[in-house]
């Protein structure tokens, strides 16, 4: 009888049954292990990949000459007065968490619940509608990405959010978020928002005020208390109820906070301080001090400008109180220290928020303001203030550029404004005061247009110029900045200066060095003083700018200029030179009233500048001859001359004969010649 083997005697018969659970377990664990390995590898890669440079760097600062902060910025956009988390009230932190991300301290960058809910809504609508973003994701979007609502952007946002949480603490992330999020009306960050809406630092906010601010980022325009206080209060109530639901507040505390009155500040209308000068300073600092992108991304760079806050405010107010409301008329003002070229104030347009185009650099026809440059060239080449030219319509014959080898001549007829001529000889002082065109073209052709162009270049005019008779009338464009630079050479004794807006730059590594702007001799000291003395007549009775003296607090030298499309006034004292332009961006003609607006802007600013920067008037340099002349003849005045003027002359250019038109029995006095000339009878 055969014997049956026991089950243990046939192990192969049970192997399939033993391996089945193992295979099942392996099949279950393999995807989990692979997923875990893949996630670990992804997290390791994200941890090893650095965040974009400067993510948690300090902001860079631009300051006025007195240290007042004009702007903060980073390579990621505008930053307004960053504050540490310790200065942000706990109530504002909790209100923000309650309304934006209650699980912030529990999740790791992403909230799966919120993402699932957002995905369901997006699929239902067939497009990205709801974001489901955590605070970390929102910060990643604000720092690194655009505002596009696309799936690819959401994926990148999630990746950056994971990186943020792997590289920074929760406190760092929340602090950065509260300092960069947008609260409406140009306010980025809680400090700027607190100042904007409540007029105080963020650390002083109450629970009620904190709840209102925390509700704004979801819809800055929709919930703005400036636009709808009712909508802002309704949103505040939602935030307070979320705080109760999150366990941050009791219902009684929330109700009490809602009942508290809110003192909302009036909505400001002014742009940020000195916005045009700030932009120029940023560009100049990069160029002159060799600021690299890496240094700016690291942060902590401080640019100290040459801007005087009081003069900057005076410049902005001068434009605001002079230009007509509801007009597209534009204006620009540049004020400079004539001794150094430091920009003290700059306004590039009537409203930076509407147009960031800086008209301080706009090239416009300079009109009669160019005559100061013309007469500087004439004085340098022996022209005398006593030189007289008939003021009447005149046709000039001249040889055109390029016709030197031919005898061809051209005609050029000169008219004064509105054909208003004096119909008598004018001295240089009278010609400047009246802005006579015939006198200017006469001087230009006799001195030589090429010589005038050379002098303009020496004084700082780099714009294209051509040696034509019309050069004298300012038909070639210049910018307000160039004209301010040229007039600075008259104001400082003949030295060409170089305009600049940056005084110094420092970084966390120390002070950065750059060559100081230089100075070069452009005119003789005597010529610049003589022309300065002559230009004071523009602001005296009969001068084209006499009406603006009601704004001034002392003497000044200036010149007006008007074309069909441009109105100018440029002038100075020993401590400040100012150029003002008024016109339209599209070059449309000015009305008669609009053509007179540059002068009052200049007068209002210079009056403030004279009070801000007082000082003595000029004294004549040694060697000049002072003489009183008869304006009818241009010769030395006698006691019988009724109309006289007193001028200064370079030695050898003063008149030596006495006026023969007015008889007198009293012997006239000779001019005040230097002692060394009197000693030798010269």
Catalytic residues: 100, 368
How far apart CA 388 and CA 426 sit, in angstroms, is 5
How far apart CA 589 and CA 601 sit, in angstroms, is 19
Beta bridge partners of 163: none
In angstroms, how far is the first alpha carbon of the chain from the final one? 163
Asked whether 582 and 347 are in contact (CB, 8 A), the reply is no
Contacts of 378 (CB under 8 A, 6+ apart): 443, 446, 447
- The residue among 227, 194, 186 whose CA lies nearest residue 211 is 194
The phi and psi torsions of 549 (rounded to 5 degrees) equal -65, -15
What angle do the packed helices 229-245 and 251-259 form, to 10 degrees? 160
| Residue-by-residue DSSP string for 447-507 | H-HHHHHHHHHHHT--S-----GGGGGT-SEE-HHHHHHHHHHHHTTSEEE--B-EEEEEE
How far apart CA 566 and CA 569 sit, in angstroms, is 10
CA 668 to chain centre: 57
Asked whether 447 and 433 are in contact (CB, 8 A), the reply is no
How far apart CA 11 and CA 91 sit, in angstroms, is 72
How far apart CA 407 and CA 619 sit, in angstroms, is 48
How far apart CA 347 and CA 601 sit, in angstroms, is 12
How far apart CA 74 and CA 77 sit, in angstroms, is 5
Asked whether 567 and 582 are in contact (CB, 8 A), the reply is yes
How far apart CA 419 and CA 523 sit, in angstroms, is 33
Give the angle 532-533-534 at the CA atoms, nearest 5°: 90
587 Rama class: left (phi>0) / alpha (psi -120 to 50) / beta: left
Residue 243 tokens, joined? 């705080």
């Amino acid at each position: 009888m055969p014997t049956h083997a026991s089950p243990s005697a046939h192990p192969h018969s049970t192997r399939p049954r033993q391996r089945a659970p193992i295979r099942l377990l392996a099949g279950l664990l393999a995807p989990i292990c692979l997923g875990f390995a893949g996630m670990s590898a992804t997290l390791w890669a994200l941890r090893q990949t650095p965040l974009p440079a400067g993510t948690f760097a300090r902001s860079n600062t631009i300051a006025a000459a007195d240290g007042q902060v004009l702007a903060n910025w980073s390579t990621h956009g505008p930053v307004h007065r960053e504050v540490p988390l310790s200065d942000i009230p706990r109530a504002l932190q909790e209100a923000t968490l309650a309304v934006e991300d209650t699980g912030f301290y529990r999740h790791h960058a992403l909230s799966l619940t919120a993402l699932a809910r957002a995905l369901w809504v997006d699929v239902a609508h067939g497009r990205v509608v709801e974001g489901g973003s955590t605070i970390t994701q929102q910060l990643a979007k604000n720092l690194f990405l655009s505002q596009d609502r696309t799936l690819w952007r959401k994926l990148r946002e999630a990746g950056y959010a994971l990186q943020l949480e792997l590289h920074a603490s929760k406190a760092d992330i929340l602090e950065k978020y509260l300092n960069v999020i947008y609260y409406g009306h140009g306010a980025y960050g809680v400090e700027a928002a607190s100042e904007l809406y409540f007029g105080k630092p963020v650390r002083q906010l109450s629970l009620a005020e904190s709840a209102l601010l925390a509700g704004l980022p979801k819809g800055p325009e929709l919930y703005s208390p400036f636009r709808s206080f009712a909508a802002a209060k309704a949103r505040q109530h939602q935030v307070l109820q979320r705080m109760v639901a999150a366990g941050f507040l009791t219902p009684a505390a929330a109700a009490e906070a809602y009942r508290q009155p809110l003192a909302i500040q009036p909505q400001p209308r002014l742009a940020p301080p000195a916005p045009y000068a700030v932009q120029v300073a940023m560009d100049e600092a990069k160029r002159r001090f060799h600021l690299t992108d890496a240094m700016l991304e690291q942060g902590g760079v401080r640019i100290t400008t040459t801007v005087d806050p009081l003069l900057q405010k005076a410049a902005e107010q001068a434009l605001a109180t002079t230009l007509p409301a509801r007009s597209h008329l534009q204006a620009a003002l540049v004020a400079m220290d004539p001794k150094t070229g430091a920009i003290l104030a700059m306004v590039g347009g009537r409203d930076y928020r509407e147009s960031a185009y800086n008209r301080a650099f706009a090239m416009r026809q300079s009109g009669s303001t160019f005559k100061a440059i013309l007469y500087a060239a004439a004085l340098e080449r022996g022209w005398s203030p006593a030189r007289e030219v008939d003021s009447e319509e005149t046709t000039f014959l001249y040889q055109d550029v390029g016709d030197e080898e031919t005898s061809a001549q051209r005609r050029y007829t000169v008219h004064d404004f509105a054909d208003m001529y004096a119909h008598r000889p004018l001295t240089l002082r009278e010609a400047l005061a009246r802005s006579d065109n015939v006198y200017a073209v006469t001087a230009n052709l006799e001195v030589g247009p090429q010589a005038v162009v050379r002098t303009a270049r020496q004084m700082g005019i780099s714009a294209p110029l051509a040696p034509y008779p019309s050069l004298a009338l300012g038909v070639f464009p210049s910018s307000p900045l160039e004209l301010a630079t040229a007039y600075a050479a008259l104001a400082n004794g003949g030295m060409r200066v170089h305009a600049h807006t940056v005084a110094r730059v420092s970084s966390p590594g120390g002070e950065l060095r750059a060559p100081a702007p230089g100075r070069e001799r452009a005119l003789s000291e005597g010529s610049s003083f003589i022309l300065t003395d002559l230009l004071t007549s523009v602001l005296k009775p009969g001068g084209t700018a006499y009406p603006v003296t009601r704004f001034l607090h002392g003497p000044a030298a200036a010149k007006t200029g008007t074309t069909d499309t441009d109105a100018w006034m440029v002038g100075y004292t020993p401590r400040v030179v100012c150029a003002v332009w008024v016109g339209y961006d599209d070059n449309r003609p000015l009305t008669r009233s609009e053509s007179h607006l540059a002068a009052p802007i200049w007068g209002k600013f210079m009056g403030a500048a004279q009070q801000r920067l007082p000082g003595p008037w000029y004294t004549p340099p040694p060697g000049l001859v002072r003489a009183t002349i008869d304006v009818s003849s241009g010769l030395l005045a006698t006691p019988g001359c009724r109309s006289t003027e007193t001028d200064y002359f370079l030695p050898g250019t003063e008149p030596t004969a006495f006026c023969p038109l007015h008889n007198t029995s009293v012997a006239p006095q000779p001019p005040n010649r230097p002692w060394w000339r009197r000693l030798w009878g010269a």
